[in-house]
Each structure stands twice: as structure tokens, then as C-alpha cells.
Structure 1
Amino acid sequence: MRTSSNDRPVAIFGGRSNPALAQKIAESYGTTLGDLTIRDFADGEIYVHYEESIRGADLFIIQSTHPTADNWMELLLLIDAAKRASAARVTAVIPYFGYARQERKDQPRVSIAAKLMANMLTSAGIDRILTMELHASQIQGFFDVPVDHLYGSTVLIDHVRQFDLEDFVVLAPDVGGLGMARSYAKRLDVDLALIDKRRPSQNEARVMNVIGDVEDKNVIIIDDIVDTAGTLTRAAQALKDYGALRIMAACTHGLLSGPAYDRIEASPIERLIVTDTIPLKRPSDCIEVVSVSDLFAKAIRHIYTDQSVSTLFTD
């Protein structure tokens, strides 16, 4: 725990979902993680206990909420315990916000899960949310507390700039990702292309057409999430069929579920760049990880000192 000149203490704690990132964020901030006990009872029930006083603290809890759902439950318990221990303000630092892909009622009799998650965080007593690359930015409107929304492009673009961008094209793998891809293309000063695809069911995509000139070009595919990698690898194969040369991809959140690793390693994708918002299940020669720890540490400092967070990024 550190104290500022106004004698208001700041404390950073990390849940179990991504301990490596939590540690890096604390180190980048210039402090150590607070002492915290989290354990499971025999029946799977989760127990949390802050091992030091947090009374009056400006508290930041770092917890990504990728599967399993236990990560969500653990975060809610950490918030509840912090409020009951008289923390002055509790900010949930959620590098990956799970259930963000269920943000609307697009067919009858389905849950708007992202809204439910927002309701549960609010009921637990959260004062503020700090997250990165929500699948749908309108999820911020589900909250009645401040939400600071960071962008993976802040770190990924700097990394992509290290490559030779001659004859490069940025590609959106679907219409939904066009805005993000356009932002990358503008900031990298390269051309833009788009995949027109149809999705017959969840986690299944069928490439229909490539819109834009990719023949004899080097292409980087941009997306916010790579889950089973079906969309990504089908897009890469379509690009090869249309005459693209080198193919890379950059995605903020590497869920990499099910057959994702095998698909990527068997695909024309030369390199997939992801951030460490979600820990990799296993290493791969095709996958490169860029850390967002410095960006989150800066955002935490700006929140703590009541500075603008938007100065840290360009959307």
C-alpha cells in the first residue's frame, strides 16, 4: 500500500484469474500486490480474505473474467469483502470483461448477459470499472458508475509498427470489426480491406468474399477477440486464395478455446499477436504476447490522482 501527498492510501490486489498480469501492473505502478487469501472449499465454494487493513483505501481489484464463471464469482466476493472492510472507493480492474458478446437481445428468449454482469457488479457495491476493449462499447451504458474503457490498439499499434509496412493492408474479419480496423489503418497509414462473411451458428463462420485489394499484399487481420479461431483462420485462408503474401493477425483478447491453437498453427497465419489480458493456455511459436501492464498501471494512477484517463489512448 502506498500513500500520496494527500495521505489517501492506494491499494492494489489481484484475484486468481491472471496473477502474472496483476503482478506486472503492481510492479509498473511501483508497488506490490496487497496480501490476500483466496481458497476453495471442498464443495467448490470460494473464500476471500484481505490480510491487511484497507479501511479508507482507494482499492483496485485486478481480475479478468474469462471462463470459468468462478472468476466472476471471485471478483464479486472481493468487491463485497472490500466494501464491508470500509474501503473508501473500490475499482474493478477487468482487463477482459466476460459475457460482453451477449450484449443485446438478437433473438427471442435469450439473456442479455452483459447487462446481468453489470447489475451484479453494481449490487456488489462497485464504485468504478476499468476495462479494456469491450466487445461492444455500448456496454458502458449498462452501468450507473463511471467506466474507463482502454483500447488494445494503444499497445498493439506500437508493436505492429516494428514490422515493415510496405505493401501492407489492414483487414477487418467482419463488418462488426470495421470501425476498429479503420482506426488501425488510419493510424498506420495503410489501406483497408474487409471480409464479407456469414455465420450460420455461434462459433462458426463461413467466408463469402474479400472486399478490397489484397493481391500481392501483406495483410494484418485486426479483431478484439480470438476465441475458437474459426473466423480468423477462414479469413486467412480466403486471403491466401485472393493472392495475399504474408498474413499476420492482432487481437486484444486471446481466449483461444477448443481447437484454436491447432487451427492457428495449421493456418497461413505467420504470427498472431495478442495481449496478456488473458493468460495463454500454452505457448506457441505462432503466438506473440504484448503486455498491457504499463497501460493499466498508468490508468490506475490517473484514476487515483483524478486525472483524465482518455489522455492515455486514441480510439
Structure 2
Amino acid sequence: MNLNPIMYGELGIIALENCSELGNKVDCHIQKNRLKNLKNDIRDDEAEKKSYLLPIRQIRFSNGEAKIQLTESVRGKDIFIISDIGNYSCTYDMFGFVNHIGPDEHFQDIKRVLSALGGKARRVTVIMPLLYASRQHRRKGRESLDCAIALQELQRLGVNDIITFDVHDPNIQNAIPQISLENLYPTYEIVKTFLKEERDLFIDRTKMLVISPDTGAMDRAIYYSSMLGLDIGLFYKRRDHSLIIKGENPIVQHEYMGRDVENQNILIVDDMIASGESVFDIVLQLKKRKANNIYVATTFSFFTKGIEKFNEFYEKGYIKRVFSTNLTYIPKTIKHAEWFKEVDMSGLIAKVIDNINCDKSISPLLDATEGIKELLAKSNL
């Protein structure tokens, strides 16, 4: 049997409570991948392991303080910590009332795991699909630099690599020049799901457009349009910079730039949906211009103001479908909504972990271009 390349260290995955479902899926993928590659480069004893997940205890005290306890040795292991800092479903009792765990506490739990490891692991990788404080990535005046400070904390605690997805500003990696921050995109998985669900749309590509909801998402829209062979349009957000409401300047109006959208199917692509107000405004603008079916593809969906308006827009025929990943928490009520399609990212994360653990390059996983071309070729598009 060919034992090369040899694994960097025995694999151990720590999936925090906020990411247990995704962690279990990733673990299953790795088990299948290693059994499939058994004849090539993985040792029998490793390939036949039932699970690579390491059990931990997350203990929360009644005053809100907490601690993490490892239940088995991690000495010499290649540890991967998976955490969804955007999961708002995790709760605990504090002073007699139910408290929902926020991003700050989730990030603190990552640091608690690193502290519990005590430097005994051979290498530590943090997989944070939604990068903590990524929207506070640069300073404007007297503001905090939350994301940079958080990354530097992870570096000081012994993290070797950080894996994240569709980060708000990739330049934030300059805050930690001594360790790597790999930024992945879910483009291939989204396109794959989109083609599976809506393949008939591509029979006549002259009837479809990719729309960028703002200038910041233009690079993403250009990539989608070039891969799918579609034209592109742009909505420019005109903001009132004299006001700050809930941490941002309110949008006054969306201005459209691009070719006529009448009778066109529309794919709006963005990195995240927060409240959805921006999407609703753009959809109404497109419908006024007599656009046909409207689809939304996004990496993260928060639905911070609920889904009532999404239900309303679907029932009125304004929005046909929303495609979003499972990289952050999505309630079951939303997953089962007729207008929502979940894009599973566990397979990609499993490949990343597998490659890093076996000291293989993850460069092929960073660029989805070839994969999308093959996908379109197989679909005869």
C-alpha cells in the first residue's frame, strides 16, 4: 500500500455546539472520502475510524460565565475547530431568564477551546465560515477594529490556519501576516444547486441577467455572469451619509445601470441577506421594469427581521427562489419554505480538512472556475 503522502497528524475535529449539524455532515464526508481513497494514500487504521469528531463539554454557569472541557487527549493531533459565530439558536439560563448566545460569546468559546488544548495539538486550524466581526474590518474615525483584534487573538493563542468563506474584505488577512487566512467561495456549490433546480432557465440565455445589488458585489456578479455566459446589471445604492441608523447609513434610492430587464429572468447575487430590505427594494424596482422570475443567490442568510416579507413576496410572485448555504444557522421553518433552497457546503469543508491534514494544497478548492466549466459541459449548457 502507498502510504505517501503521510498525514500531518492524527485528525481531530472539534465542532462546537453552534456548528454540530454541519460538523456531523463534514465528519461523514471525510469518513467516506478516506474509505474511497484507502488504496491510495490513507492508512487502514485511520480510514476505518468511525468518527473524527472529538467530544467536548461546554459548561455554562448560572451567571453567564463558561468553560470548555476536553474529554480525551489531543496530544500530537491535527485539530480543526469548527464554529458558527452567527448561530443565534443556542441558549442558556442566566439569572432566571433565557439568554441567546451572540457572536461575542461564540468567539469566546473558540478561545476557550484553544486554551483547553494547552498547546498539546500538533497543529490547530480554526474553520469559521462566517468570520467574526468581518463587517467591522476597517476603521473610520474613532471606531474599534474588532475583526483585526480577534484574528490577532487567535494567532497569539497558537492557531496556525484560519479558514473562512466570502469574507467582507479579504484584505483583513494583513492583520495576521504570520499565519494564513484562506477565504473560500461557495460559487460552485450555488451554481450546481441552481442548475439542478432551475435548469430550464438556461435554454435561452438571452432571457436572463445577473444583477449586482451594489458596487461592492460587482466582482461577484461579474464572475457569475462570465461563468454562466450572461449579461450583467448593477444597482447603485444612494445613501444618506448624514444619518446613521442601526449602525449604517440608510439607503435613499437604488439606481439601475444595465440593459433592459423586461421579460428577463434575474439572478441577484450577494454575500449576505441581513434584514432583506435592500433585496426587497431591488426586486420591486425590477418588477416595475417588468422583469420575469427573480432569483437570489447568497452565501449567508440571517433574516434578522424574520421571513414574513419573504413569504409575502413569494406569494405575490415577486421572488421565485432564494439560494443560500448552510454555513450559518438557518431555522427549520426557513429550510422548509417553498421559496428557499439550501446549498450544502459540508462536502467542500471536508475536502479542505482532508487536504490540509494530508499536507496537500487546497489551491484547487479556492478557484471554482474549472469545476463550473465541467458542470456546465456535463449539463450541455
- Whether TM exceeds 0.5 here: the answer is yes
Deviation of residue 6 (structure 1)? 5.2
1:53 to 65, 68, 73: 73
Choose 115-124 or 16-25, whichever is displaced more.
115-124
Query: Contact 1:203/1:230 (CA < 8 Å) preserved in 2?
Result: no
Match of 2:192 in 1: 158
2:264 maps to 1:217: yes
Query: Contact 2:6/2:358 (CA < 8 Å) preserved in 1?
Result: no
- Residues 133-144 of structure 1: matches in 2 within 5 Å? 133-143=166-176, 144=178
Matched length = 309
Q: Write the distance in 1 (CA, Å) between the matches of 2:308 and 2:252.
A: 18
Please give the per-residue CA displacement for 1:183-209, whole angstroms capped at 9, x wherever unaligned. 011111111111011233428434332
Q: Write the distance in 2 (CA, Å) between the matches of 1:7 and 1:222.
A: 38
Q: Write the distance in 2 (CA, Å) between the matches of 1:289 and 1:7.
A: 33
Equivalent AA in structure 2 for residue 20 of structure 1:
E
Q: Write the distance in 1 (CA, Å) between the matches of 2:165 and 2:294.
A: 25
- Residues 293-304 of structure 1: matches in 2 within 5 Å? 293-304=346-357
Query: Contact 2:14/2:82 (CA < 8 Å) preserved in 1?
Result: yes
1:42 to 62, 65, 69: 62
Secondary structure of 1:18's partner? Answer: helix
Q: Write the distance in 2 (CA, Å) between the matches of 1:210 and 1:140.
A: 33
User: Greater Rg, structure 1 or structure 2?
Assistant: 2
Q: CA distance change for structure 1 residues 11 and 32 in 2, over 3 Å: closer, same or farther?
A: closer
Q: TM-score, normalised on structure 1?
A: 0.93
Equivalent AA in structure 2 for residue 14 of structure 1:
A
1:266 to 312, 316, 319: 312
2:194 maps to 1:193: no
Deviation of residue 249 (structure 1)? 0.2
Match of 1:178 in 2: 218
Query: Contact 2:83/2:128 (CA < 8 Å) preserved in 1?
Result: yes
2:147 maps to 1:114: yes
Deviation of residue 123 (structure 1)? 2.4
Secondary structure of 1:223's partner? Answer: strand
Deviation of residue 138 (structure 1)? 1.1
Query: Percent identity at matched positions?
Result: 24
Query: Contact 2:265/2:291 (CA < 8 Å) preserved in 1?
Result: yes
2:259 maps to 1:226: no
Query: Contact 1:174/1:195 (CA < 8 Å) preserved in 2?
Result: yes
- Residues 39-118 of structure 1: matches in 2 within 5 Å? 39-66=59-86, 67-82=102-117, 84=118, 86-106=120-140, 108-118=141-151
Deviation of residue 263 (structure 1)? 2.7
Query: Contact 1:94/1:131 (CA < 8 Å) preserved in 2?
Result: yes
Match of 2:374 in 1: none
Q: Write the distance in 1 (CA, Å) between the matches of 2:6 and 2:217.
A: 44
Deviation of residue 85 (structure 1)? 5.3
2:361 maps to 1:308: yes
Q: CA distance change for structure 1 residues 10 and 241 in 2, over 3 Å: closer, same or farther?
A: same
Query: Contact 2:8/2:78 (CA < 8 Å) preserved in 1?
Result: no
Match of 2:165 in 1: 132
Q: Write the distance in 2 (CA, Å) between the matches of 1:27 and 1:157.
A: 23
Secondary structure of 1:47's partner? Answer: strand
Q: Write the distance in 2 (CA, Å) between the matches of 1:303 and 1:199.
A: 43
Deviation of residue 262 (structure 1)? 2.1
Choose 288-297 or 227-236, whichever is displaced more.
227-236
Please give the per-residue CA displacement for 1:37-89, whole angstroms capped at 9, x wherever unaligned. 1121111112111111100100000002224321111111112212x050111
Q: CA distance change for structure 1 residues 203 and 13 in 2, over 3 Å: closer, same or farther?
A: farther
2:63 maps to 1:10: no
Deviation of residue 255 (structure 1)? 1.7
Q: TM-score, normalised on structure 2?
A: 0.77
2:299 maps to 1:242: no
Query: Contact 2:9/2:357 (CA < 8 Å) preserved in 1?
Result: no
Q: Write the distance in 2 (CA, Å) between the matches of 1:216 and 1:280.
A: 32
Q: Write the distance in 2 (CA, Å) between the matches of 1:299 and 1:218.
A: 34
Q: Write the distance in 2 (CA, Å) between the matches of 1:180 and 1:6.
A: 35
| Runs of 4+ deviating beyond 6 Å | none
Deviation of residue 287 (structure 1)? 1.7
Equivalent AA in structure 2 for residue 120 of structure 1:
E
Please give the per-residue CA displacement for 1:108-151, whole angstroms capped at 9, x wherever unaligned. 21112211221221222211101111011112222231122110
